[in-house]
Structure 1
């Protein structure tokens, strides 16, 4: 996918604004889970990269610490970030799942857990960066000085397919059990949990299914964003049969979940 440099800068800043909008509006939830700390780190990395590439764009030609930068390096920096973001999807999916399954959601989070989440997020970024720069097939590509060739998604489409298939399987399973007249508490809880999840994320899931079906190329840099990480967190929370005390769930939605599951108990 080829994008002009001004359009690329606009996309980068729009993504950063979207990330911070979600982080700030959901701040009480962000500081309670590993997913939240990963969202905060992603917003910080995006902002830092945007500031750097914008400075390079306006200064055009300068040197710092012996390194020479021109507008040519904007594409190189964004493509390098895209390579790093492209390999984060499966590790993030698995780590968010582990945190959701083994960590109880509480109002007050002890500082050792916050420190663990912070170190875990930092370590994930460091390992992904080392992995990308050690790969022989991650060389940036630029065809001319005014156009950037951005890599398309890889892991994100795989994770999205797994999420959609898992949700479809759960819906089919609960529907079949309901038609056969089998009423189990766990099955009822799972059904109302999935219903709460779909009521929050159905527009995003429809868009996701459309993108996967149409095979639209999306730059790897844009694939990794805060709403996507929030969806993964909510997905794992849904499968653990817990209340909707999760990212992007309003207090009204939490009360609705409790009332629905209370009636099905």
Structure 2
């Protein structure tokens, strides 16, 4: 897709403001999760790129001399395309790392670590992901920039790649969450119709796990239903999401809540004793489990 440099600057500026607004909203528990720390790194990178694009776009000559290098509007298009490819490559690794972070938190395996140690690990993981994604884009992905064959003074728009990774990630995690709900419901029905040796205890545990799964789904949908509707619209309509806008603070917050819901549902099927849910500025993960006799 072809987008004007003015629209790119406007999109990056809005994304940057939104990034920092959500960083401020999560300031109390930034050091407690990988996604919050990664969100800060994303806000910094978006800010630097926004300032660079703005300076080159408003400059009368269409170029700036920085450290002896002549930077032109060619570099605006090039950097936007590179950032888009890096964000595209980061989607699934972020899901994996954040999912493991939430899993270890819910299963109490990260409890002994101090806040400073956890922050250092999250910073290291964020930096490593950015580095590996950039390395992949430049060396392994076969990325070829698309540039207009005109003078840099005549460049007023850029070719921008679009991304489908957001829809793929959301669809996969929502299907996983749906499977957890179906599994919880089916396991409860099987225990109701097949007597076991420790029937009361097993039925009580099954009902408790089912309650956790159903309440987790309810909490998630109550908060993020509008965004799910918007994603469904993007999925049905032939509208591409610019790759440089695909990785943003709202998506990270949505991904954080969705991964928490998936991890809570998955862990509740394995063990009954859950630790406190990972920090979330949008969903309040509190559960009230009923017993089998009440049902």
- Identify the TM-score tier after normalising by the shorter chain: 0.7 to 0.9
Q: CA deviation at 1:49?
A: 1.0
Relative to 1, partners in 2 of residues 1:231 and 1:77: Cα closer, same or farther, differing over 3 Å? same
Matching residue of 1:10: 10
Number of equivalenced pairs: 258
Q: CA deviation at 1:69?
A: 1.2
Q: CA deviation at 1:154?
A: 3.8
Paired residues of 1:189 and 1:264 also in contact (CA < 8 A): no
Matching residue of 1:165: 175
Matching residue of 2:42: 42
Paired residues of 2:167 and 2:231 also in contact (CA < 8 A): no
After alignment, is 61-70 or 32-41 more displaced? 61-70
Secondary structure, aligned partner of 2:3: strand
Alignment gaps of 5+ in structure 2: 193-202, 265-273
Paired residues of 1:101 and 1:236 also in contact (CA < 8 A): no
Matching residue of 1:226: 249
Distance 2:84 2:277 in 1: 32
Q: How does 1:138-217 map to 2 (within 5 A)?
A: 138-143=143-148, 145-174=155-184, 182=192, 184=206, 185-217=208-240
Distance 2:114 2:239 in 1: 40
Paired residues of 2:32 and 2:115 also in contact (CA < 8 A): no
Q: CA deviation at 1:73?
A: 1.8
Structure label with greater radius of gyration = 2
Secondary structure, aligned partner of 2:162: coil
Matching residue of 2:200: none
Distance 1:16 1:247 in 2: 21
Matching residue of 2:195: none
Deviation string 1:40-60 (CA, Å, 9 cap, x unpaired) is 111111111111111121232
Deviation string 1:177-215 (CA, Å, 9 cap, x unpaired) is 667785512121111111111111111112112212224
Q: CA deviation at 1:109?
A: 4.8
Secondary structure, aligned partner of 2:70: strand
Distance 1:191 1:122 in 2: 36
TM-score (norm 1): 0.87
Distance 2:240 2:216 in 1: 32
The CA RMSD over aligned residues, in Å, is 2.4
Distance 1:245 1:136 in 2: 34
TM-score (norm 2): 0.79
Deviation string 1:50-94 (CA, Å, 9 cap, x unpaired) is 111111212321222232111222111111111111100000000
Q: How does 1:118-129 map to 2 (within 5 A)?
A: 118-129=123-134
After alignment, is 132-141 or 43-52 more displaced? 132-141
Relative to 1, partners in 2 of residues 1:245 and 1:90: Cα closer, same or farther, differing over 3 Å? closer
Distance 1:206 1:121 in 2: 30
Matching residue of 1:249: 282
